Each structure stands twice: as structure tokens, then as C-alpha cells.
A and B are shown apart, each in its own frame.
Chain A
Amino acid sequence: MRRSRFNQGKRRYKRKFRGSKPRGSKPYSGKPHHGKSFATEDTNHTIEHRIAFLGNPNVGKSSIFNILTGSHQHVGNWPGKTVEKKEGHFLLSDEYFSLIDLPGAYSLSAHSEEELITRQYVVEERPDLVCAIVDATRLERTSYIALQALELTDNIALIVNMMDLAEKENIQIDKHKLEKLLGIPILLVSAFDNSSIIRIKKFLYDALHTEKYTFRPAYLLYSQKLETMINSVSRQIENREILRDYPTRWLSIKVLEADKWVISKLEEEYVLDDIFNKIEKLKKSVNFDPADEIPKRKYRALKDIVKKSVIGIEDFKEKVSDKVDKVVMHKFWGYPILILIYVAFFLITFYASGPIINGLDYLLSYFSDIVRGWLVAVSSPTFLTSLIVDGILAGIGAVLLFIPIIIIFYILIAVMEDSGYLARSAYLMDIVLGKFGLQGTAFLSMVMGLGCNVTGILAARTIKSDRDRISMILTNSFIPCAATLGVVAFLTGIFFKTKPWFAALLMLILYALSFLLVFLSSMFFRLFLGKSDTMPLIIEIPEYRLPRIRNIFYLTWERAGIFIKKAGTFIFIASIVIWFVSNVPYGVSTEYSIAGYIGRGLAFITEPLFGFDWRMVIPLLFGIAAKEVVISALSILGLLTVAWTTPQIISFLVFQMTYAPCFATLAIIKSETKSWKMTAIGFFYPLIVTSLITAAVYHILLLFL
């Protein structure tokens, strides 16, 4: 076969020698320094260093980012959690460090949004330091992107994370050897070691300041054939007007790799036909495609580097995860286990939260009685007493009541995420979803949607096929979020107090129905969204890990915290509004209040169709703003104490599960699709479908009950 001289002998790696560069506060050769002047009120830090974290998904970028900056970014054990770049800060020796946590990417090509974000950030924003993060247990694979970054920038350092796991596997990394081979500073750490924070901070500080490190990033030399081609492209584009920030050599490599973004940019200025003709000729005559050859060369170089600097790597060693997966991912047993786990999920939430809710309920009504008594004692006007007790307290209280449900549910989701099971359930569901034309990765978005549709829609970014992604964005609101779960659990708890097993069963059926709606809808959307560039399923399955209390705590805290905050702000205002519309003009019965008129108007349609009378409509109307408002409104309108017929209850439950995305979800649909048309579909499609289903359910129930 074609063999070049490239991979023989020492020639493979050459140092790009530019002498030692003073770093940090002083500008250095060629590149403009980007440390902005910076001053805050309390101190006068005049230097700001910007450091960007890049690396593969799931190598621990956000974990390190969090410990350094004290933030609580999404950390979990599946690839693709961070989808937008996040910024955080820390101070060291009176200098201000800004860290940027970039989304995980497998490479710096332009196949996906994350990759484009990452590389544009590195080049166009010019951080003072790019810090590549890799996984010690998978050094070779996770360093691929680092090797690409070396071609893009000189200001680069490497953090080898997960050293605790590497030590367990007896993998020993020779740091100095690696530093020498790559020509950049390297730090070996484990994100959760107590000493790590200070070690990493110091490392970053040193990398930006002292002469301790010299940056001479290794310079990957390709085969002669490739080098000739790279040089010929380079010569052509050397004096370009555009993409001046990008290194010429890197652009040439990208042209040869057929990078669409780079090519289309360069074609604004150049005719590159000559090059493409040459490539075509090579492909035909010697079966040589630079686009395949370049990654191959990189991996070969990497393999060599790892071989020289690491000992103890055992190829294809059977791990504990493999043994567990023999059962958990079994072609048959995998499914009962999957169903069991997800059902347990809901049942645990449901049963564990019951007693807490009852206790809270007791406390809250006790509290509101005290407030009422006190208000009466100071002879406040009756409307004020009513506003405070029946409006604000009832509205906020109802939402506070189901916060335990939300917390328990979020803890369980976090455990699933951090253990590594979530990624596996996506794998298992691939077969099932395949029947509906979706890929397993869509399941990640659905499960995240169980927590919050906004998160679910963002998680759809892990879906590689554009069509699947759009259809998941549009149907994610069918997945009942934690707020909806709160409403369901709360209502079934009240209405079927004497039959808890029936309440639980009903809840499971409702959830199954919601998922079915997502599946069927994506089949339906396929008819309109046309053929997609069916990108096949390719997904990484992480090792199982013991869930970390810290991760679970912060994940839950961040997510449930939103609800608690909302209870104090948004729900507070919503409660006042609801109280007003249902009590103005003051003194008349609710039927003749503003809300009464609206409700009675809508009831012309909803009463015959779904059995919702004028009072039941109002909570649903307000629920479009945020799902938990449904409960607040039911409580303010006093609907939790009146008798509903069984068909009414079930019809109401079915409807509120899926009827419309909340405001926050609509906003994210708009920002993710960048289309008002899609946003409109995202709103009306669930509304129409849910209406049809609810009408059917209601009328069938009427026949039997």
C-alpha cells in the first residue's frame, strides 16, 4: 500500500521554534494581546485573563469549571450536557481570571453547532489561553481535539482529568515526556480532589505568566503528498483579505478536509477549483482522499505520543461496566429493566411526596388561618384580607405544596444522569424509536423534558439529524414537565384520595400517552419535514459511575430552585392577577367577574367538548404562562373543594398534561428554530391534538360512567 516516509523516524514531530515567549501581561510575538483593562468597584484588578476550556463531551470540563468558579453548571454522566458557552470567574493574586466553558465537541470541524462555536471562539475571540481538557483513561481518543487545537492556536495548555480513575486502572502518565512531545504545559488532576482547585488555578496562572513554561506547540507534519498540497493551498491564500485571524496552514488543511464553512468563506475571495481538481484526480488515480488521510495521520501521531508517554494501558480490558451491561443492555432483559426503572421513578416520586405534601398542607392552612385571624383583628378591609389570604397565600401555597414532588423527581433524574444509565436508556430506546423514525438520542431530549421542556429542547442539540431535531423541539411540550407532574400528582392525590393505587395507575397511563404522542407526532412530522440527511446513530456510552452527592445536590438545587424562585416572583404576581380578574368588580359573585365572563365565553366550546365548565377553563388559560399556575388558579378559584364528576376530572387531567407549551418553552422554541412559523406550530399543534384526544376521552367516559 501507499506508504510515505512521514511515519518513519523522528521526522514526524518537529518543533515550531519561536523562542520562549513572554506571556500574560505582556503582549507577545505577533498576536495582539487581549487582556482587557478591568476594574471593579471593590478592587482594582487591571488584568483580565480569558481562558477557554475545550474538549470532548463528558471529560469533566464543567466539573472543573464549577470547582474553580464556584458555579453550578450542568454536570452529569452523558455526552452533550453543556450546549452553550458559559462564563465564570476567579481571582488569584489580585488578577482576574475569566473562564469560558465551551460545549463538548469531538473535533474542530464544522459538522455541528458545538464544533463551530468552539473553533470560532478560539480564533475570533482569542482567549489568552486555550485549555484543552482530556480524560486520562481515554487519553488517545480525547486528545484528538487537542491535537487539532494545536494547529489553531499557540496559546494552549492541557489538563489531563480523571487521574483518580486512571490510577485505579494502573495507568501511569509521564507528564514531562508528554509535555516535551506536545510542547505545551500539562497538568494531571482529578476534578474532585481537594487539592485540585489550587493546583489548577496555579497551573493556569503559571501558564499565563512565568517563564516556567515555554510554549512550543508540536507541529504535526503530514505525509509528503499532503504537505505539498497544503503548501500549494497556503501559497494561494497567503495574502487573503478574509479570515485573517485563522492560521494559513490550518485553513489549507481544512480546505483539504473539505470543510464546508472554510471553503465557502474562502471562495468569496478565491477560485479554488484548481485545488479541487487536483484532489479529484488524486482520489481517482491513487485512491487518495486528503479528507480521510488527515485524521488518520493525526491519530497515528497521537498513538505514538501515548505509547511514548503512558504505561499501563491495556487494550480491551473487560471493565465492571461491561459486566453490568451484559444484563442492563441485554436484548431482552434490558427492556423490562428499563420499564421498571422509569415506572419506579414515578411511583417513588408519587408515594414519597404524599406524606410531605399532607404535612405541608396542614402547616400552610394553619399559617393562612393565623394570617386571616390577624388581618381580621386589625380590621383590614375585607377585600384586602381576601386578596392576601385567598389570592396570594392560596396561590403561592398551592405551588409550594408540590415543590417536594419536584425535588424528589429531580433527585431521581440526577441519579439517572450521573450514574450513566440515561445514556444507556437512549441506546435501548433506539430500536423502539426507530419504529417511529426517530433515533435513540431523541430519548435524551425526552427524559430531560420530564424535568423541564426548556432543558429538553436544549438537549435536542445532541440529535444529529436536523429533521429529528426539529420534530423533537416541536413535540417536547407533549412531555409533561416537573410542574405538570406536580399538578397531576396533586390533583390525582386530591380526587382519588381513597384509591391511591388508581391515582398512580392513572398517572402512569397519562405519561405513557404523552410519550406515545411524541412518537406518533414525529412520524407525522416526517411527512412534512421531508427527507433529512439521515445521519446514522453514533453515540458514546460512558462508564457507570457512582452518582456524586455533590452533582445530585447541585443539579436538584439549580432546577428546583427555579420553581422556588418563581413561587416568590412570578406566581406571586400571577396570584394577584388571578385574584383580581376573579374578584373584579368587587362584591359580585365570581361568575360575573372578568374571569367569569371570559370563562363563560370559552365554556361555550369547552363544556360540550371536554366537560370543562366556565370555572375549570380559567386555570388552564393561566397555565399557559407557567404550568404550576394551574394549581394556584384552581386554589384561588376554590375549585379544589368543589365536587367534580369523574369524567370531568379525567378529562381535565388528560387535557392539562399536554395542551400547550408554557411561555418559557415557547421562547426556547423560537430561539432554537429561529422561526415564527415553527413557534406557531409548536403552540397550536399540541393544542389541537390535545383537544381532539380530550374530547374523545371525555365522550367515551360519558358513555360508561
Chain B
Amino acid sequence: MNTMSNKFSLADSTVNSIVQVEKITSGQKARRFLADLGVLEGVKLRILKNDVGPILIEVKATRVAIGRGIAQKIEVTT
């Protein structure tokens, strides 16, 4: 669908980069919980760790670890 855009999933983001959340396509329950932790559309994140295991991000001055499965459903842009 969006092969033309520069959107990619949070799971594919590079360490230390700052990205902006475009869309979260997960189920509503997870989306809501992410929102409670400040991860929602339009918000900027910094990637602290992304190799194996959950992805570690910084959002609104808080470190949050997000499982890889759900990170794949978070679309971001640089």
C-alpha cells in the first residue's frame, strides 16, 4: 500500500534515531495501553536499543520496552 512513502515499522528503526509515530495498527487493547504510556500517533520516540529482544525506546522522558511483535505494528517515519 505505501511502498512509495518512507514509512517503516518501529521494529526496523535504527538505534539512536528519533522517529515519529504515524499509525498503530495493532488491536485496540494494545493500542490503548500504548497510548496510556504515551506512545500514540504524532509522538516522537528515540530508539535506545533495537537488536534482539524487546525494543527499548524513550518517549516523553520515559524508557519503555516494547515487544517485537507489537513494534512491527507501529508505523513510524523519520
Contacts and interface: CB of A to CB of B under 8 A. Distances in A.
Interface of A: 106-107, 109, 111, 137-138, 140-141, 144, 258, 291-292, 295-296, 299, 313, 315-316, 321-322, 325, 329, 331, 427-428, 430-431, 439-440, 464, 533, 535-543
Given A141-B59, A431-B53, A537-B67, 15 more contacts: A107-B32, A138-B60, A140-B61, A144-B38, A258-B28, A295-B36, A316-B46, A321-B63, A325-B56, A331-B51, A430-B65, A535-B33, A536-B67, A537-B54, A541-B65
A283 to B, nearest CB: 11
B70 interface: yes
B56 A537 contact: no
Given A296-B40, A322-B48, A538-B66, A141 B60 contact: yes
Nearest to A138: B61
B53 A331 contact: yes
Interface in B9-66: 18, 26, 28-38, 40-44, 46, 48-49, 51-54, 56, 58-66
Contacts of B51: 331
A329 B15 CA distance: 14
A529 to B, nearest CB: 18
B29 A111 contact: yes
A316 B37 contact: no
Contacts of A313: 61
Chain B contact residues: helix, strand, loop or mixed: mixed
Contacts of A427: 53-54, 56, 65
15 contacts: A107-B36, A138-B60, A140-B60, A144-B36, A295-B32, A295-B35, A296-B40, A329-B56, A431-B52, A537-B54, A538-B30, A538-B37, A538-B67, A540-B63, A542-B63
Shortest Cβ-Cβ A-B pairs, 8 listed: A537-B67, A536-B70, A106-B36, A536-B67, A141-B60, A541-B63, A295-B35, A107-B36
B20 to A, nearest CB: 12
Contacts, number: 114
B58 A316 contact: yes
Contact of A538 (B49, B60, B70): B70
Given A296-B41, A316-B46, A427-B65, A541 B56 contact: yes
Among A315, A316, A533, A538, max chain B CB count under 10 A is at A538
Interface residues of B, number: 38
A137 B41 CA distance: 23
A109 B36 CA distance: 9
Nearest to A317: B61
A334 to B, nearest CB: 9
Contacts of B66: 536-538
Contacts of B58: 316
A296 B21 CA distance: 12
A291 B28 CA distance: 9
Given A331-B52, A431-B52, A539-B65, A299 B34 contact: no
B68 to A, nearest CB: 8
A331 B63 CA distance: 17
Interface of B: 18, 26, 28-38, 40-44, 46, 48-49, 51-54, 56, 58-67, 69-70
A258 B31 CA distance: 13
B25 to A, nearest CB: 11
Contacts of A137: 61
Contacts of A296: 35, 40-42
A440 B52 CA distance: 14
Contacts of B41: 292, 296
A140 B28 contact: no
A295 B40 contact: yes
B56 A315 contact: no
B40 A299 contact: yes
Contacts of A144: 36, 38
Contact of A536 (B30, B42, B44, B49): B30
Contact of B67 (A138, A322, A439, A542): A439
Nearest to B59: A141
A109 to B, nearest CB: 7
B73 to A, nearest CB: 9
B77 to A, nearest CB: 14
A543 B43 CA distance: 21
A111 B61 contact: no
A535 B32 contact: no
Contacts of B54: 427, 430, 440, 537, 539
Nearest to A322: B48
B65 A111 contact: no
B65 to A, nearest CB: 5
A306 to B, nearest CB: 9
Contacts of A543: 63
Contacts of B65: 427, 430, 440, 537-541
A440 B32 CA distance: 20
A198 to B, nearest CB: 30
Contacts of B33: 106, 111, 464, 535, 538
Among B36, B38, B53, B69, max chain A CB count under 10 A is at B36
Contacts of A540: 37, 62-65
A144 B43 CA distance: 14
B37 to A, nearest CB: 6
Given A331-B51, A538-B70, A141 B40 contact: no
Given A296-B42, A533-B29, A541 B18 contact: no
Contact of A292 (B36, B40, B53, B69): B40
B49 A329 contact: yes
Nearest to A429: B53
Contacts of B70: 536-538
A138 B58 CA distance: 11
A138 B38 CA distance: 11
Nearest to A112: B33
A262 B7 CA distance: 36
B36 A325 contact: no
A536 B39 CA distance: 14
Contacts of B40: 292, 295-296, 299
A430 B61 contact: no
A321 B48 CA distance: 11
Among A106, A107, A316, A464, max chain B CB count under 10 A is at A316
A427 B26 CA distance: 21
A574 B8 CA distance: 64
Contact of A535 (B29, B35, B52): B29
Nearest to A315: B44
Contacts of B35: 292, 295-296, 299
